[in-house]
Amino acid sequence: MLLVLLAGLAFGVAVAVIKGQDTGARDALGNMSAPWVVVPFLAGARYSSVWRATLVGIAATLAALLGFYVAEAAILDLGSHPWYTDLQLTLRAGRYWATWGFLSGAVYGALGGIWASRRIAAALAAVGLAFICEPLIVLVLSRAGIWGGAGLLEHRWIWISEVLSGLACIAFVAVETRRRVVSRF
Helix axes 2-19, 50-75, angle to 10 degrees: 40
| Alpha-carbon torsion (94, 40, 7, 47), positive or negative | positive
Give the distance, in angstroms, between the CA of residue 50 and the centroid of all CA atoms in the same chain.
19
- DSSP states along 13-45: HHHHHHH-SS-SHHHHHHT-STHHHHHHHHHHT
Model pLDDT for residues 141-162, shown as the tens digit of each residue: 888 877 666 566 778 899 899 9
Model pLDDT for residues 21-45, shown as the tens digit of each residue: 877 888 888 888 999 999 999 999 9
Q: What is the mean pLDDT of the chain?
A: 90
pLDDT at 163: 95
Write down the domain spans for the chain: 2-184
Model pLDDT for residues 81-118, shown as the tens digit of each residue: 888 888 888 888 888 889 999 999 999 999 999 999 99
Give every CB contact of residue 36 below 8 A, 6+ residues apart in sequence: 61, 64, 101, 104
In the chain, what is the greatest distance between 2 CA atoms, to the nearest angstrom?
A: 69
pTM of the model as a whole = 0.88
Interatomic CA distance for residues 32 and 11, integer angstroms = 13
